[in-house]
Amino acid sequence: MTKTVGHAPDRASAAPSPASAPASQRAQLAGLRRHGGLALGIAIALPLAAGLVLVGQAYLLSRVLGDAISGGRPLVDLAPDIAAFAALLLLRMTLVFLGDCAAAKACERIKRRLRDALTGRLIDKQSEWVHARTSGALAGAIVDQVEALDGYFSRFLPATIQAGVLPLIFAAAVLPFDGVVCLLFLLTVPMIPLFMALVGWGAQAASDAQAEKLSRLSGLFADRLRGLQTLMLFGCMDAEAEAIRTATDELRRRTLRVLRIAFLSSAVLEFFAALGVAGVALYVGLTFLDMVDARFTNLSLQAGLFCLLMAPEVYQPLRQLAAHYHDRAQAKGALAEIALQFEEIPPAVVRGAASVALTSFARCPQPLGFTARGLSLQTPDGQTTLLLPTDLIIPARRHVALLGASGVGKSTLLNALARLRPFEGSLQLGEDRLEEIPEADLRRKLAIVSQRSRLFHGTIADNICLGCRDADDAMVRRAADIACVTAFSDRLLAGLETPVGENGLGLSGGEAQRVALARLYLTNPSVIFLDEPTAHLDPDTEARVLDGILAFAAGRTLVVATHALAIADRMDTVLTFRDARLVTARRPALHVQDHAA
């Protein structure tokens, strides 16, 4: 009897995963940023060009005032400089306007891409998964939390680039006129980001709490609307209205707390900026009064005016950064809430550098599939049947997930397909019977990463090299990057040369599993078997590790035994164990027949 079912496998409702760590949020924001495309690059570049134009404006204005005041030149002679100043002013306004337009376009593109991915993920989920969550919170994540990313990409990101580049450009422009003023700029400007960062930690915590409160309020409001008739029947309208009023007031207080911290950040910046500008003005004034002599030549009126005009502009990019700093905290809080409601940010949207580099794997030598006839499995003592006699065809290049409770036989099936344990029936790999393939040929065509892969006493790099003894340092490093091994090894003093004990002593379960995956990436099999490859990993790391697995498995046959629904969602077909039978649960592309039925 052939079993073909067109719906997704049964899934137990899972609690939302914790919010991602700050480092993963930075990676997610960087991954989203690439969807801004050329428009985002223009939005960053045009304000920098406007800053260069500003230097020209200040120079022309100081020259006009210097020539008019100290040189006594008539207005007619200054007309060309005044016209050039007006032209630069118009050009600068145009550049700023075009930059704002480009930023808005890029931001809308990023938000649309993320909303489409979240909506698609919601549609793909089983009804049990959706019912286990508050619909108002899910809607709030798609609408409100995605909208909260607007300020980060349209304002904070360009302001960050400007704050890092323009003060240096302005200080360099002042250097030919006065080295002391340039030195004052270089000493005072770095103090501002330092103190802003201290304030920013508080802003981040307050923003996270505000985003969580907003999500809860959305869920509360949606639930009360859904049960409005019941509340009226039981006379609970006034009590629930008071509860909503209390929740709304709490959200208001948290929002004001975020704003207070944002204003404090601005106050810190203004304090140091005022000190810097006052220091420049005091130095220039005392120099003109001959009370300070720190120059080898006299300070001209034009040079003094140019320094005074540039003094506030040096701090202006940092003012903009402070004004939009809360946008960064708000974006991180929004991402944390989206990850909380959807278990993860869709990897296809935020896939970053780890997956970009996965374009040069060795091509699969010969795609192979599996054919099983009357395959049955038992426990080693022969007392329990794990799989009744079953016919199974896995076509070449197919990606298959094996789902089922612990102990039902997923690992046993993988080991049998890899010829690592006895079975009843017949198995074919491609056109050859499995038992007739020479051991060396079989291990070259087929690779398996078990739940407890063997790690020996040696360095992390030595364990990775077990997949290919001829691998050089660059190949080992690349495999480690793809498997996210460097995510923890780079924090160690010796990096990949850090020694580990027998059976991976010194590494956690998830770290040891990633080392085993890195070992796999140095081979070139036609068939890959993985047993719980992302166990013990947080959702963000799991997504990046899965990206590497799927990139490596492109064009190869892949069978994964897993409990992770995130993995099953990205496979071509899902097989579930039910009562010692295999059932095709989604995207029926396999032939499965159990003889017992």
Q: What is the CATH number of the domain that holds 540?
A: 3.40.50.300
Q: Cα 127 to chain center, whole Å?
A: 27
Q: How far apart are CA 525 and CA 518, in angstroms?
A: 14
314 and 393 fall within a common domain: no
409 and 343 fall within a common domain: no
DSSP code for 9: P
User: Using an 8 Å Cβ cutoff, are 100 and 111 in contact?
Assistant: no
Report the SS3 class of residue 277: helix
464 and 409 fall within a common domain: yes
267 and 397 fall within a common domain: no
Residue 310 lies in a domain: yes
Beta strand spans in 446-595 (E)? 446-449, 458-459, 499-500, 527-531, 557-561, 573-578, 581-586, 591-594
392 and 341 fall within a common domain: no
389 and 335 fall within a common domain: no
* pLDDT value for 56: 92
333 and 442 fall within a common domain: no
Report the SS3 class of residue 316: helix
User: Using an 8 Å Cβ cutoff, are 126 and 319 in contact?
Assistant: no
575 and 520 fall within a common domain: yes
Residues 6+ apart with CB under 8 A from 389: 374, 375, 376, 424, 425, 594, 595, 596
What Rg, from alpha-carbon coordinates, does the chain have?
A: 32
Q: Which domain holds residue 476?
A: 370-594
In degrees and rounded to multiples of 5, residue 5 shows phi and psi of -120, 135
Residue 20 lies in a domain: no
In degrees and rounded to multiples of 5, residue 575 shows phi and psi of -110, 135
Residues 6+ apart with CB under 8 A from 230: none
Residue 16 lies in a domain: no
588 and 540 fall within a common domain: yes
Distances (CA, A) of 243 to 214, 230, 250, 417, 505: 15, 16, 11, 59, 53
> Alpha helix locations (H) across 177-324?
179-188, 191-226, 228-233, 237-288, 301-323
Tokens of 528: 């890959």
325 and 421 fall within a common domain: no
Residue 359 lies in a domain: no
- For the chain, list residues with pLDDT below 50: 1-21, 352-359, 588-589, 596-597
Domain boundary among 347, 362, 381: 347
53 and 90 fall within a common domain: yes
Residue 266 lies in a domain: yes
Q: How far apart are CA 124 and CA 526, in angstroms?
A: 30
Residue 53 lies in a domain: yes
Residue 362 lies in a domain: no
Tokens of 425: 């029936």
Residue 2 lies in a domain: no
Count: domains in the chain: 2
Q: What is the CATH number of the domain that holds 54?
A: 1.20.1560.10
DSSP string, 72-139: ---TTTTHHHHHHHHHHHHHHHHHHHHHHHHHHHHHHHHHHHHHHHHHHHHHHS-HHHHHTS-HHHHH
Tokens of 281: 């003005």
* pLDDT value for 589: 47
Q: How far apart are CA 331 and CA 336, in angstroms?
A: 9
Q: How far apart are CA 92 and CA 567, in angstroms?
A: 51
338 and 398 fall within a common domain: no
Q: How far apart are CA 352 and CA 28, in angstroms?
A: 8
* pLDDT value for 9: 34
Q: How far apart are CA 26 and CA 241, in angstroms?
A: 39
